[in-house]
Amino acid sequence: MLMQNNHAFENAEKTGEAINAGQSLSSLFLSSAAEPVAAGKAICWEGDQAKHLFQVEEGVVRLHRIIGEGRRVITAFHFAGDLIGASLQNDFIFTAEAVTECKIRRMSRKSFHDEVARSDALGPAYISLLCQEAAAAHEQMVLLSKKNAEERLCSFIVKLASRRNPRQGLVRIPMNRQDIADHLGLTIETVSRTITKLASRNIVIPEGRHDLRIVNLARLKQLSGDADDFSDDSCHRVNLH
Amino acid sequence: MLMQNNHAFENAEKTGEAINAGQSLSSLFLSSAAEPVAAGKAICWEGDQAKHLFQVEEGVVRLHRIIGEGRRVITAFHFAGDLIGASLQNDFIFTAEAVTECKIRRMSRKSFHDEVARSDALGPAYISLLCQEAAAAHEQMVLLSKKNAEERLCSFIVKLASRRNPRQGLVRIPMNRQDIADHLGLTIETVSRTITKLASRNIVIPEGRHDLRIVNLARLKQLSGDADDFSDDSCHRVNLH
DNA sequence: CGAAAACTTGACTGAGGTCAAGTGGTGTGG
DNA sequence: CCACACCACTTGACCTCAGTCAAGTTTTCG
């Protein structure tokens, strides 16, 4: 399927154009060294001047904001190939931290914009990337606004599963429960309970803390509440008409 | 303050650059006629091919998505001067409807992109607009993820108030309670009750359905939960119950 | 003026949050 | 290799904020 993704958590379906967009922008970062970042370490801080863009060469990164009293919102996760900071103007509006051990490349905002301005291909690629991010943000707003705990978890798992995963049916969950909770607007306990419930219905099987075996992907998609799909309950969309 | 805004619900603080960005893009639409749209009527539909961009010449527009069983999410409101559809690639991912009687200009996506490509100034303006939309989406995710009903309402009112409003202290609320509820991830009853509660504490005074007198803007900002504000409760948080 | 729509208010409910144990896997030092 | 401790996670009991349902009230409009 996809060898490289521009932005974490996009819809699985991408136009060939969009994929190329990410690849061509990523190539700008190849001239800089891949810096190792230990799990849990920050890559940039909310409020700092956004002098650089980053590219995730390897590993998983979380973007978050803290609003008083330790309320943390993880607005996105970024995976290998993704760019961080493309949609910024002046300052970082999020803190980026390594979820796992990472390799990160960086590039100054100025030279990034210079390169984009210089090339005919890069401008549209950049705009395409920003549009994809907007679509992802849109999707997340719907999730946070109207979905219940089960729908949120199922949406999340389906998205993870739609990334290229090594073994069929086994999805890697690189982040811990607290990260998932803060991304889905839930608590750690609710995440835990909901996974347990899905497991008891034999929809997924947890294999250790960081892997999930997907038993019934169709059901998972159905439960993710992205309606307009099979509105009549049972899943015989197959033999209609 | 601002004569024109590019995107609904941005932070009030904008760089001069950003304002110019919106203005220069807006000028592209001047060659097309301003079409009147009656309140409640749709301007474009989710799922349709996004062949046009729109500019709000006059009035207020809501963007929404419906996810099964009549769950509606209003992802944004757009006001005079704002562009609609800038962040789209192929299809509309929202339905746009007039909240009030509107005047709308349109422009084909193709000629919009041609014009942007042709001009040196328009490319950065376009990118700037997309970044502002990203920041707004970010903000909304935080609201939906971590704020309670009162904080949501206060955030909403503060944003409305930060737009240029004719009379000092009197904020126009063009949309109805259901629209507010669907934008803030609440129900109509909770919106109503929360406004009543703010009124009883003499923070705002409702003047009819569509106007609010702001009695205590500082308190309103404080209650909007965007922390990092005055964490030491200087503002007599103490002797209220 | 009457009817319908928009909004408010009240009583009750429930999904998910909070608080508090309990469990299990992992890493470290002996 | 085990013992211990620690941390991430799970589970249970209880609570609360906002949702639901049902009147009631006000505004709008034909």
pLDDT above 80 (res B15): no
Asked if B15 reaches chain A (Cβ–Cβ under 8 Å), the answer is yes
- Please tell me the predicted confidence (pLDDT) of residue A198: 97
Same domain, B65 and B175: no
CA distance A204 to A194: 11
What SS3 state is found at B97? strand
Higher pLDDT, A162 or A165: A162
Considering the domain boundaries, does residue B11 fall inside one?
Answer: no
- Please tell me the predicted confidence (pLDDT) of residue A68: 80
Considering the domain boundaries, does residue A137 fall inside one?
Answer: yes
Q: What is the DSSP letter of B224?
A: T
Same domain, B35 and B55: yes
pLDDT above 90 (res B68): no
Considering the domain boundaries, does residue A67 fall inside one?
Answer: yes
Instruction: Please report the DSSP string for chain A in residue order.
Output: --S--SSTT--S---HHHHHHHHHHHGGGGGS--EEE-TT-EEE-TTSB--EEEEEEES-EEEEEEETTTEEEEEEEE-TT-EESTT-SSB-SSEEEESSSEEEEEEEHHHHHHHHHH-TTHHHHHHHHHHHHHHHHHHHHHHHHH--HHHHHHHHHHHHHHS--SSTTEEE--S-HHHHHHHHT--HHHHHHHHHHHHHTTSEEE-STTEEEES-HHHHHHHTT--SS--SSSS--TT--
User: Domain end: A143, A163, A185, which one?
Assistant: A143
Considering the domain boundaries, does residue B237 fall inside one?
Answer: no
Considering the domain boundaries, does residue A72 fall inside one?
Answer: yes
B207 touches strand C (CB under 7 A): no
Same domain, B152 and B104: no
- The structure tokens listed for B194 are 């929360």
Residue nearest to nucleotide D7 (CA to C1'): A176
Q: How far is the CA of B177 from the C1' of D17 (A)?
A: 20
State how far the alpha carbon of A110 is from the alpha carbons of A53, A78, A81, A168, in Å. Answer: 10, 22, 21, 42
Write out pLDDT tens, residues B190-230.
999 999 999 999 999 999 999 999 999 999 999 998 865 54
User: What CATH number is associated with residue B155?
Assistant: 1.10.10.10
Among residues B151, B189, B156, B148, the alpha carbon closest in space to that of B174 is found at B156
Asked if A88 reaches chain B (Cβ–Cβ under 8 Å), the answer is yes
Averaged pLDDT, A135-162:
96
Write out pLDDT tens, residues A111-133.
999 999 888 889 889 999 999 99
Q: Of residues 102 to 131 in chain B, which lie within 7 A of strand D by their beta carbon?
A: none
Asked if B88 reaches chain A (Cβ–Cβ under 8 Å), the answer is yes
Same domain, A70 and A152: no
Same domain, B71 and B32: yes
Same domain, A152 and A128: no
State how far the alpha carbon of B103 is from the alpha carbons of B55, B60, B86, in Å. Answer: 9, 9, 18
Checking each nucleotide's C1' against the CA of B189, the nearest proves to be C8
Same domain, A41 and A133: yes
pLDDT above 50 (res B240): no
Residues 160-179 of A with CB under 8 A from B: none
Considering the domain boundaries, does residue B188 fall inside one?
Answer: yes
Long-range contacts of B196-203 (CB under 8 A, 24+ apart): B197/B150, B198/B150, B198/B153, B198/B154, B201/B240
Same domain, A55 and A159: no
Cβ distance of B133 and A138 shorter than 8 Å: no
Residues 22-61 of A with CB under 8 A from B: none
Q: How confident is the model at residue A237 (pLDDT cuts 50, 70, 90)?
A: very low
Residues from chain B contacting residue A67 (CB–CB below 8 Å): 142, 146-147, 225-228
- Please tell me the predicted confidence (pLDDT) of residue B21: 63
Question: Which residues span the domain enclosing A132?
Answer: 16-143
Out of A83-87, A132-136, B228-232, least confident range? B228-232
Considering the domain boundaries, does residue A201 fall inside one?
Answer: yes
- Please tell me the predicted confidence (pLDDT) of residue B9: 47
How many distinct structural domains can be found in chain A? 2
Same domain, A62 and A95: yes
Q: How far is the CA of B37 from the C1' of D30 (A)?
A: 22
What SS3 state is found at B228? coil
Asked if B132 reaches chain A (Cβ–Cβ under 8 Å), the answer is yes
Asked if A131 reaches chain B (Cβ–Cβ under 8 Å), the answer is yes
Same domain, B32 and B79: yes
User: Domain end: A110, A143, A176, which one?
Assistant: A143
User: What CATH number is associated with residue A70?
Assistant: 2.60.120.10
Strand C bases, protein C-beta under 7 A: 6-11, 15-20, 25-26
- Please tell me the predicted confidence (pLDDT) of residue A106: 96
**CB atoms closer than 10 angstroms to residue A223:** 19
Q: Closest to B67 (Cβ–Cβ): which among A94, A137, A146? A: A146
Same domain, A139 and A22: yes
User: Domain end: A143, A178, A212, which one?
Assistant: A143
Averaged pLDDT, B19-25:
70
Cβ atoms of A102 and A37 within 8 Å: the answer is yes
Considering the domain boundaries, does residue A3 fall inside one?
Answer: no
pLDDT above 60 (res B185): yes
Same domain, A78 and A177: no
